[in-house]
């Protein structure tokens, strides 16, 4: 499965660590997902803190995964996600 979108954010509790531009989510619930995204407005302090959560904006809902370890290379963000998302 591949889903593409734009919008969302990376957070440490209530603090925004980065905004997300365009993103791609590949994989499935059984084997896990990989999120690749363009990170915008990155706060270097907060992106290094834990626990990290990511929220992806979809047309009629928001998906969230928590307790993550993102990899940031320039503006390219990659996160391995496991399990189904929490729907907000």
- The tens digit of pLDDT for each residue in 6-46 reads 999 999 999 999 999 999 999 998 899 999 999 999 999 99
Q: What is the pLDDT of residue 29?
A: 85
Give the angle subtended at the CA of 77 by the CAs of 27 and 39, to the nearest 5°. Answer: 125
- Tokens 């834990």 found at: 50
Q: How far apart are CA 56 and CA 77, in angstroms?
A: 13
Instruction: Please give the C-alpha separations between residue 77 and each of 20, 36, 60, 67, in angstroms, as whole numbers.
Output: 9, 6, 24, 16
């Amino acid at each position: 499965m591949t889903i593409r979108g734009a919008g969302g954010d990376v957070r440490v509790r209530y603090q925004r660590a980065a905004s997300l531009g365009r993103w791609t989510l590949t994989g499935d619930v059984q084997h896990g997902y990989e999120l690749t995204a363009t990170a915008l407005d990155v706060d270097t302090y907060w992106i290094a803190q834990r626990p990290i959560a990511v929220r992806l904006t979809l047309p009629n809902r928001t998906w969230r995964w928590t307790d993550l370890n993102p990899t940031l290379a320039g503006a390219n963000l990659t996160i391995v996600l496991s399990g189904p998302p929490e729907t907000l």
